[in-house]
Structure 1
Amino acid sequence: MIAGVVVAKSIKEAVRKMNSSDADLYELRVDALEDYSDIDILRPFSSKLIITIRSKDEGGIRELGDEERLSLFEKFLEIEPAYIDIELKSRILEDVIELARPSSKIVISYHDFSRTPTFEDLLSILHSAEDHEPDIVKIVTYARTPWDNLRVIKLYEHANNLIAFCMGQKGKISRVFSAIFSPFTYASIDESVAPGQMSIYELREILRILGG
């Protein structure tokens, strides 16, 4: 499955983008929103929504404090999205997990925008996330060399519900593997929000060529 990343200033704009897309899921980047009104119009998409309120340290589009993020998670959980995404290193991790269960599934994510750690460190990150018993662990790093992809792809040998890939032009191959081995992976609807992110069309074309 492919999750289209939705970046919009208002929820009405986000809904327009989702209506014009054929993604299987939609990651709504709440950290990009400037207007939180009209949340109820998201309800028809609830079963396909991933609510992400990314911290600035891990790629957030706007600066949001922990208390504001926690309040927004609580607000958006009222529509019972399919998933919520919270960073492993976040100080509000446990609070968000408590709020989300049992209405929404939990993605615990880790991002490194400068490098790909050693495989031993990646495995430690995976186990640390698994300690919180999420539904999915997401590990995203930056590929400085093509070999970085191999370390990330090898993680699939150690977990089932894992999304793992590298950002950057040299990390694109890992995004293809992610589309094959992960419960779902990410692609842009219109504008890329991460280095090396492909469009839904590009990713689907690659999968079609590979035979599914």
Structure 2
Amino acid sequence: MSTIIKKMKAEHVKRPLICAPLVGKTFEAIKEELFVITKKQPGLIEWRVDFFEEIDKTESVIETGKWIKENARGIPVLFTRRSNREGGQPITLSEEEVTKLYVSVLEADIIDAVDVELSCPKEAKETILSLAKDKEIQTVMSFHDFSKTPKKEELLDVLKQAQEEGGDVGKIALMPKSLRDVLLVAEVTEEANRGLTIPIITMSMGPKGALSRLVGGAFGSAVSFAVGQTASAPGQIQIDQLEKVLDVIDASQE
């Protein structure tokens, strides 16, 4: 497998991979957006296909995905359909149809990693994980809560579940109600990074949570999501702003 997202070493402050979302609704919008994103050279591009108006046309998704891969200037592509139950855009596809779309995309060999929600149906999850493993495509098993930050034990269990179910990467994104919640996510990140064998991605969302996107890597989060052209979640900041902060953190470790 080509390991795109790598585990952070415990007790070592490392620079996280920067991921920029691709959220264009049409092919033309995606072309324009990708041009802007690639100039900023993030380490990863996430194609949020739930924003794509032709998500119900598998051939269109495949052709657009091929174009993205061919024009991403070597930047790896993470394919994500974020469900409505976890903060994604409403779509017309059923869960069964979404699974078929994932299978088609994986078989087309146009992506480097794929997001699989822990909350998706068991059979669908197993199908996607198995095919991704056969194709040597990295899997990100994700959990999102846009209303609150669950307790520490619950979050640690979620990340442990991601590992036990065969995910290559575990991801949690939570909404903080206070700065205490942001600190909780940092604590969970540090503890999970030490205790699990897989890389983890963690973040708090919204204005308060923006802090986690700046310093999450210091606690063991392998990826920080930043705006290439348009945000895909509340609290994301511009790539160039995040780069400046990461440069300062890097310099402080020398």
Q: TM-score surpassing 0.5?
A: yes
* Corresponding residue to 1:29 among 18, 40, 48: 48
Q: Is residue 83 from structure 1 mapped to residue 113 from structure 2 by the alignment?
A: yes
Mark the runs of 5 or more structure 2 residues left unpaired by the alignment: 1-16
Q: Is residue 124 from structure 1 mapped to residue 152 from structure 2 by the alignment?
A: no
Q: Is residue 17 from structure 1 mapped to residue 33 from structure 2 by the alignment?
A: yes
Q: Distance in 1 between matches of 2:112 and 2:31?
A: 16
Q: Is residue 55 from structure 1 mapped to residue 74 from structure 2 by the alignment?
A: no
Q: Distance in 1 between matches of 2:100 and 2:213?
A: 32
Aligned pair count reads 212
Which range moves more in the overlay, 139-148 or 96-105? 96-105
Mark the runs of 5 or more structure 1 residues left unpaired by the alignment: none
Which range moves more in the overlay, 33-42 or 165-174? 33-42
Aligned 8 A contact 2:36 2:228 in 1: no
Q: Distance in 2 between matches of 1:193 and 1:66?
A: 21
Q: Distance in 2 between matches of 1:15 and 1:97?
A: 29
Shift of 1:19: 2.6
Q: Higher relative CO (CA 8 A, sep ≥ 6), structure 1 or 2? A: 2
Q: Is residue 157 from structure 1 mapped to residue 157 from structure 2 by the alignment?
A: no
The equivalences for 1:63-74 within 5 A come to: 63=91, 64-74=93-103
When normalised by structure 2's length, the TM-score is 0.77
Q: Distance in 2 between matches of 1:72 and 1:12?
A: 21
Identical-residue share of aligned pairs (%): 30
Structure-2 change in CA distance of 1:208 and 1:47 (3 Å): closer
When normalised by structure 1's length, the TM-score is 0.91
Deviating above 4 A after TM superposition, structure 1's stretches of 4 or more consecutive aligned residues are: none
Q: RMSD of the TM alignment (CA)?
A: 1.9
Q: Is residue 43 from structure 1 mapped to residue 69 from structure 2 by the alignment?
A: yes
Q: Distance in 1 between matches of 2:209 and 2:234?
A: 9
Q: Distance in 2 between matches of 1:34 and 1:48?
A: 23
Q: Distance in 2 between matches of 1:177 and 1:131?
A: 27
Aligned 8 A contact 2:139 2:167 in 1: yes
The equivalences for 1:96-135 within 5 A come to: 96-103=128-135, 104-135=137-168
Q: Secondary structure at the match of 1:4?
A: strand
Which has the greater radius of gyration?
2
Counterpart code for 2:86: E
Counterpart code for 1:13: A
Shift of 1:134: 1.3
Counterpart code for 2:235: G
